[in-house]
Chains A and B, each alone.
Chain A
Amino acid sequence: MIRSGIERLGGRTIGAIAELGRFARFGGWIVGGFLRPPFRPERIVREAYDSGVLSLAIVCASGLAVGLVLSLQLYNVLVRFGAEESLGAVIGLTLIRELGPVLTGLLVTGRAGSAMAAEIGMMVATEQIDGMRTMAVDPMKFVVVPKAVALTLSMPLLSALFIVAAIFGGYLVGVQLLGLGSGIYFSSLENAVVFRTDVVGSALKALLFGALVALIATFRGFTTGRSTAEVSASTTATVVTGSVCILLADYIFTALWGF
């Protein structure tokens, strides 16, 4: 009884480490497939439509909502200290350094990452991937790499749009509703944000999260078993692992980048 428990624990640990190894090799394949010709820009554009354009509405709407509520909350706290003219700076730095990349990453995981894992998973479950191999089409090159690249490259763009939408939301509440001067809002924003650390760091962060989500989604999809139940399991796993990885990677990146 005790022995079988210990055996199971050991088996799971070894299984998890092996999974990590497969994940790392899969990441290596994607990078290799991306660097080796033939390049398929038309496939990347098609996938950019799915992961970028279709995420645009949810990202902008969420950004606007976050900006609205952030402004409302912060104004009420700052006004107690007579520091409401710092509203723009607080909103801008919070969004650019943290909330923009992180929330966009979580939204994209839910919107595009899950769809990607489900699509690839269905292709595995319905043996389309095997069919490609039979016809000597490399499924990594034709399916996985364009999807991963498109999602990775879409992330900094989506994150920047999220931040701009949120700054606009903060402007609506802070300036239009609560009556802070528009010049005060934007000048404190402009004075606080530094290009090299804040804006570049924000874009790199978004790129990193995009690569993480793309890797996890394609890996989960590609390693799906051959049944429809497995497809839903890998979709769920993508969202859960992707979200947790983004939050952990966020801490590590922030600590190393030194915001």
Chain B
Amino acid sequence: MQSHPARDLVVGLFVLAGISALAYLSTQLGGLSFDGQGGFTLRATFDEIGGLSARSPVVISGVPVGQVVAINLDEDLRAAVELDLEPGLELPVDTSASIRTSGLLGDQFIALEPGGEDELLEAGDILSFTESALNFEKLIGSFVHDAGLGGSE
């Protein structure tokens, strides 16, 4: 079988293009990060996380600084959320974390609000000031109940 350099080259280019497309899907979209370390891990516990999920963004003043890597139940049956943040962030120990929603129906994210203490958070620390997700159904339910619209009671 004689070899066909031109055709082999075209097939090689095709394979290269296909693999780069797969690589784009995996690394850019799939969040399979090669730098891996991310760096700075913090934990926060919430009573209610609503629709928060792994890979939800973490922002400070609206600027993305990291993402949620894991959500588990802790021993008190509260949601323990693990945050992976940019290394080198200097956050005071009284930084608070709250779960917000972008728009009325948008995705949920965690907003960090730095406090005023001089002492800084270390990697692995637990954020003690947290504000849970706003649950619209609960809110509407309690409104209906308070207004006495909830039927016979």
Nearest A residue to B10, CB-CB: A53
Complex: A100 Cα to B30 Cα, angstroms: 15
Which residues of chain A in 71-116 are interfacial with respect to chain B, using CB atoms and an 8 Å cutoff?
81-83, 85-86, 89, 92, 96
Quick one: which of B18, B29, B30, B57 contacts A161, CB cutoff 8 A?
A: B18
B134 contacts partner chain A, Cβ-Cβ < 8 Å = no
Q: Answer whether A157 and B57 are a contact pair too, CB < 8 Å, given A46-B7, A194-B31, A195-B30.
A: no
**Smallest beta-carbon distance A119→chain B, Å:** 17
A160 contacts partner chain B, Cβ-Cβ < 8 Å = yes
A68 contacts partner chain B, Cβ-Cβ < 8 Å = no
Which of B38-46, B97-105, B112-120, B140-148 has 4 or more CB atoms under 8 Å from chain A?
B97-105
Which residues of chain B in 1-21 are interfacial with respect to chain A, using CB atoms and an 8 Å cutoff?
1, 3-4, 7-8, 10-11, 14-15, 17-19, 21
Quick one: which of A42, A82, A194 contacts B1, CB cutoff 8 A?
A: A42
Nearest B residue to A188, CB-CB: B107
Which B residues lie within 8 Å of A83 (CB)?
103, 105-106
Nearest A residue to B24, CB-CB: A164
Which A residues lie within 8 Å of B32 (CB)?
195, 199
Give the interface size bracket for B toward A. 20 to 34
Nearest A residue to B57, CB-CB: A191
Nearest B residue to A78, CB-CB: B105
Query: Do A191 and B11 have beta carbons less than 8 Å apart?
Result: no
Query: Do B25 and A96 have beta carbons less than 8 Å apart?
Result: yes
A129 contacts partner chain B, Cβ-Cβ < 8 Å = no
Chain A residues in the interface with B (C-beta under 8 A): 42-43, 45-46, 48-49, 52-53, 56, 81-83, 85-86, 89, 92, 96, 154, 156-158, 160-161, 163-164, 187-191, 193-196, 198-199, 202-203
Complex: A53 Cα to B4 Cα, angstroms: 15
Interface code B23-59, partner A: CB below 8 Å = 1, 0 otherwise? Answer: 0111011111000000000000000000000111100
Complex: A154 Cα to B26 Cα, angstroms: 18
Query: Do B106 and A86 have beta carbons less than 8 Å apart?
Result: yes
**Smallest beta-carbon distance B68→chain A, Å:** 10
Nearest B residue to A47, CB-CB: B11
B123 contacts partner chain A, Cβ-Cβ < 8 Å = no
Query: Do A82 and B18 have beta carbons less than 8 Å apart?
Result: no
Q: Answer whether A160 and B107 are a contact pair too, CB < 8 Å, given A189-B29, A190-B31, A193-B30.
A: no
Nearest A residue to B21, CB-CB: A160
Query: Do A164 and B26 have beta carbons less than 8 Å apart?
Result: no
16 CB contacts below 8 A, A to B, read A42-B1, A82-B103, A83-B106, A85-B102, A86-B106, A157-B17, A157-B19, A158-B18, A160-B18, A163-B25, A190-B31, A195-B26, A195-B30, A199-B25, A199-B26, A199-B32
Interface of A, secondary structure class, is helix
Query: Do A191 and B107 have beta carbons less than 8 Å apart?
Result: yes
Query: Do B14 and A157 have beta carbons less than 8 Å apart?
Result: yes
Query: Do A157 and B21 have beta carbons less than 8 Å apart?
Result: yes
Query: Do B3 and A42 have beta carbons less than 8 Å apart?
Result: yes
Quick one: which of B25, B31, B102, B106 contacts A160, CB cutoff 8 A?
A: B25
Complex: A52 Cα to B19 Cα, angstroms: 13
Query: Do B55 and A194 have beta carbons less than 8 Å apart?
Result: yes
Nearest B residue to A191, CB-CB: B55
B22 contacts partner chain A, Cβ-Cβ < 8 Å = yes
Quick one: which of B17, B21, B29, B106 contacts A193, CB cutoff 8 A?
A: B29
Nearest B residue to A95, CB-CB: B25
Which A residues lie within 8 Å of B17 (CB)?
56, 157, 161
Which residues of chain B in 105-141 are interfacial with respect to chain A, using CB atoms and an 8 Å cutoff?
105-107
Complex: A52 Cα to B21 Cα, angstroms: 14
Q: Answer whether A193 and B31 are a contact pair too, CB < 8 Å, given A42-B3, A82-B105, A164-B25.
A: yes
**Smallest beta-carbon distance B13→chain A, Å:** 8
